[in-house]
Amino acid sequence: MTNAAAATPVPTEKTLADLTEGEVLAQIFPRLPQADTELVGPGDDAAVLSVTDGRFVVTCDMMIQGPDFRLAWSTPHDLGWKAAATNLSDVAAMGARPTALVVAIAAPPSTPISVILGIADGLRDGCAALAPGCGVVGGDLSASDALTLSITAFGDLEGRSPVLRSGAAAGDIVAHAGRLGDAGIGLGLLFRLGVDEHGVPSRELADTLKASRPEVVAAQLAPVPPIHLGAVAALAGASAMLDVSDGLAIDAGRLARASGVGIDFESATLGAQPELALNGGEDHGLLATFPPDAPLPEGFRRLGLVTDQAGTVLVDGRPHTQGGWDPYRGWDGAVL
Ligand SMILES: [Mg+2]
């Protein structure tokens, strides 16, 4: 008896080790979003961008397999999307409009090409959804033991002054745009229920969670921060701003110290479980302060007031014990 299945070789997917860098790039380039500001794009030694302002905003953020993501939980598309989202939100937090990304990827040679192409697709879809007109204008490929993405993002101030962390004044309104706590809840669920009995991240268990709690798991793996509201806040006169990456309380403390003020949150504005809103990180919403006489722009919600108690974060006038994410200490939240 012949075995047809055994006679037909199973097509195995090409890995990075099977292809030259040029062959990989030839597959990546057509997937990448083009930047409206691009004068010279990928393919030369460096890109050339146009700017309408004499200043530009630049930032970078890295994502490393292990500390920052697990391939059992995140799809390659999620990784590209999240890498775009986290960098775009830092540009937005300066009051700028994101214009371009430069992407460096290091991966084990055994990485299937579909992983790299999935990341490229996530970058494209993330830019299209969150910052239309922002494109990938260059990058680099290298080999490493851990899959690593390093993104540099550029932004245009369009003639506005940058909104710094240091501009808040006592009496200003504290406001936030975006989700609060959902990404942290999603990560907490993944750490509790997305691992097998040995604590190893499991794709199957993560898929079950994605089906049962899609909102909060997606908020963690592929966040949708309100990037366009950074420029809106700047135009509305925001006095200080930052994106909430490590937790509302931790990031409010950064703004408070930079401005030499205090922040007093009103717990009634923080939802049914204020601790989740205060301690959950990675939602990448925008925390901003506005002068008391300025109407809050649409999309921002009042959370409290700026006080003159330098460097303090209060909730209903009482000190808040900070929790949140620290890359060297891990989760320090009371809840997660
Ligand atoms: Mg930031």
Distance 143 CA to ligand 1 centre (A): 28
Report CA 316 to chain centroid distance, whole Å. 29
Q: Supply the CATH number for residue 214's domain.
A: 3.90.650.10
Among candidates 206, 238, 204, 195, which has minimal Cα distance to 92? 238
Distance 251 CA to ligand 1 centre (A): 9
Distance 61 CA to ligand 1 centre (A): 9
Residues 78 and 195 in one domain: no
pLDDT-based confidence at residue 324 (cuts at 50, 70, 90): low
Q: Is residue 183 part of a domain?
A: yes
Residues 139 and 216 in one domain: no
Q: Is residue 265 part of a domain?
A: yes
How far, in Å, CA of 300 to CA of 28, rounded? Answer: 37
Q: Is residue 162 part of a domain?
A: no
- Encode pLDDT of 91-113 as tens digits: 999 999 999 999 999 999 999 99
- What are the backbone dihedrals phi and psi of residue 16, each rounded to the nearest 5 degrees, phi first? -60, -30
How far, in Å, CA of 312 to CA of 301, rounded? Answer: 21
Residues 150 and 191 in one domain: no
Q: Which of 156, 187, 221 is the last residue of a domain?
A: 156
Distance 2 CA to ligand 1 centre (A): 62
- What are the backbone dihedrals phi and psi of residue 175, each rounded to the nearest 5 degrees, phi first? -140, 160
Contact 305, 264 (CB under 8 A): yes
Residues 110 and 253 in one domain: no
Distance 89 CA to ligand 1 centre (A): 7
Residues 290 and 326 in one domain: yes
pLDDT of the residue at 51: 87
Residues 183 and 148 in one domain: no
Q: Is residue 2 part of a domain?
A: no
Range of the domain at 72: 11-156
Say yes or no to pLDDT of 36 above 50. yes
Residues 29 and 152 in one domain: yes
- What residues contact residue 266 under an 8 Å CB cut-off, 6+ apart? 302, 303, 304, 305, 316
Q: What residue type is assigned to position 233 of the chain?
A: A
Residues 108 and 49 in one domain: yes
Instruction: Classify residue 190 as exposed, middle or buried by CB count within 10 Å of its CB (0-12, 13-18, 19+).
Output: buried
| Percent of the chain predicted with pLDDT > 70 | 92
Structure-token pair, residue 72:
């059992």
Distance 278 CA to ligand 1 centre (A): 16
Q: How many Å from the N-terminal Cα to the C-terminal Cα in the chain?
A: 58
Say yes or no to pLDDT of 8 above 70. no
Residues 240 and 112 in one domain: no
Residues 228 and 128 in one domain: no
pTM for the model stands at: 0.90
Q: Which spans in 38-103 are helix H?
A: 76-92
More confident residue, 129 or 54: 129
Distance 11 CA to ligand 1 centre (A): 44
Distance 84 CA to ligand 1 centre (A): 13
Structure-token pair, residue 121:
């697709």
Q: Which residues surround ligand 1, an ion (CB under 5 A)?
A: 90, 243
pLDDT-based confidence at residue 187 (cuts at 50, 70, 90): very high
pLDDT of the residue at 335: 40
Residues 112 and 200 in one domain: no
Distance 228 CA to ligand 1 centre (A): 15
Distance 222 CA to ligand 1 centre (A): 17
Q: Is residue 165 part of a domain?
A: no
- What are the backbone dihedrals phi and psi of residue 267, each rounded to the nearest 5 degrees, phi first? -60, -25
Distance 15 CA to ligand 1 centre (A): 34
Q: What residue type is assigned to position 202 of the chain?
A: S
Element (H or E) spanning 21, and its range?
helix 21-28
Residues 207 and 95 in one domain: no
- Encode pLDDT of 216-230 as tens digits: 999 999 999 999 999
How far, in Å, CA of 115 to CA of 110, rounded? Answer: 11
Q: Number of structural domains, the chain?
A: 2
Contact 77, 115 (CB under 8 A): no
pLDDT of the residue at 333: 42
Q: Is residue 184 part of a domain?
A: yes
